[in-house]
Structure 1
């Protein structure tokens, strides 16, 4: 094993952007720790001298500590942490159970924080490292029926921005990657659609949101494109914080920056209007 080879730990690496990120770093010659809740499942990654596939459930602090320890034992160090694990809960807030509310924040925010905390002592001892937090355009703009998801991604943005100042004191960089839509299954494991048809007043909007977001996601970028952005963020050596991933991300975020609230909200309302 080349002791100069750098190591990345990726959460949520069983599919989508997480798997593409693990594969991209590996192709660039890095050691990769690809973590997921069920590593014995069909994830498509092949363990090798430079690829450790192991369990990490961001809702289980014991598994986080074990994965970090296994990474250091196997490769000697961790140079980059990619906090990718997450999902989106969409639906009327009234339909969300307390358990769904807690799970959304546990996975997208508290789990990300816990994983970062577990790696920081190692980074501090080395006086180097990089934390890449996968946010979303949904951390800068919001769409109807995504109140929980957007709340968590807005939280990741604020967490990352504040942490950037803090970790600069120990030589550690913080980066945020903001993908737009990616070519994944809209109803798959990364999305939890919650509805209560008894809440009749929300049903026209609910149907319209599914009609609009489905094609937007299907027309999005390949996860491999976003993985390249993650790699750039982790390796460019700059103090830049945010990286947009995908043409739609660039388009949406530029529209948000160039519009006042009233103008932007009117555009979103027109796009998601049940009457259109």
Structure 2
């Protein structure tokens, strides 16, 4: 029997990079995809196939799936990991940037799933693993558009799971907490840029400083914690619908369920 085939989007760094390697080590034929091919070169050196992919480009999305099917004849695992965090007060973020955040984090994920599903149905097997966040269950100031995308991924995944189960396809959500990647630094930089000369500038700077300190420290989880959950979701006979992993993830969700909105607001303000 031929190896199962996995595609990981956003594979040039962080969680996606670790997932591509761990899936390869678990015996999958792996395709790592991202916008910048130069960032994928080290994956290729390890035996992983690489593909140029921008999840805002219909042409590249279609081409990525066609390439895999032409080469392998199948696609078993799709890890929808591509995404970013665009931070800023709702009043400050241009609608063009808000639309781009949705385009990458939600519509790109949805379109990649649309393209993969016919091939999974044909084989009566498939796993679509969507990388969400605890930010799909909780909220922070200045993260409105990012949280909107992750809340959307949660709902979209739940509906897709019910629709595709009849074809032997599982839809799994991974909800990372604090993970040591460049995500937080990039988001903090975006927040400072967006809030310049804004009425929110002072509070935004305080939040950005805390984000940078947090993501520059040593308390956050290694991306491997998340990639290990991805491999588990890809390999076990009956995967969970959700995997809550990474620093602070389980306590944050537990507290959110336990306390009122106003109490949770105070907790979040004290942290951010």
- TM-score by length of structure 1 reads 0.91
In the TM superposition, what whole-angstrom CA distance separates every residue of 1:196-235 from its partner, at most 9, and x where no partner exists?
33223x1222022113222333431111111001111222
Q: How many residues align?
A: 268
* Cα distance, 1:13–1:95 mapped onto 2, change above 3 Å: same
Partner of 2:250: 250
In the TM superposition, what whole-angstrom CA distance separates every residue of 1:22-70 from its partner, at most 9, and x where no partner exists?
000011111001011122446521256x521011110011111111111
Structure with the higher fraction of residues in helix conformation: 2
Moved more, 151-160 or 221-230: 221-230
Alignment partner of 1:116 out of 105, 108, 113:
113
Alignment partner of 1:212 out of 210, 214, 234:
210
Name the CA distance, whole Å, in 1 between partners of 2:115 and 2:169. Answer: 14
Partner of 1:29: 27
In the TM superposition, what whole-angstrom CA distance separates every residue of 1:217-274 from its partner, at most 9, and x where no partner exists?
34311111110011112222225211111131112112112222222122112333xx
Does the 8 Å CA contact 1:88/1:191 hold for their aligned counterparts?
Answer: no
- TM-score by length of structure 2 reads 0.92
Moved more, 142-151 or 50-59: 50-59
SS for the counterpart of 2:248 is: helix
Q: CA RMSD in A?
A: 1.9
Partner of 1:93: 90
Partner of 2:268: 268
Name the CA distance, whole Å, in 2 between partners of 1:263 and 1:225. Answer: 30
Q: How does 1:145-164 map onto structure 2 within 5 Å?
A: 145-164=142-161
Does 1:60 find its partner at 2:57?
A: yes
In the TM superposition, what whole-angstrom CA distance separates every residue of 1:53-92 from its partner, at most 9, and x where no partner exists?
0111100111111111111222221111000000000111
Q: What residue ranges of structure 1 are gaps of 5+ in the alignment? A: none
Does the 8 Å CA contact 1:88/1:190 hold for their aligned counterparts?
Answer: no
* Cα distance, 1:171–1:159 mapped onto 2, change above 3 Å: same
Does the 8 Å CA contact 1:87/1:192 hold for their aligned counterparts?
Answer: no
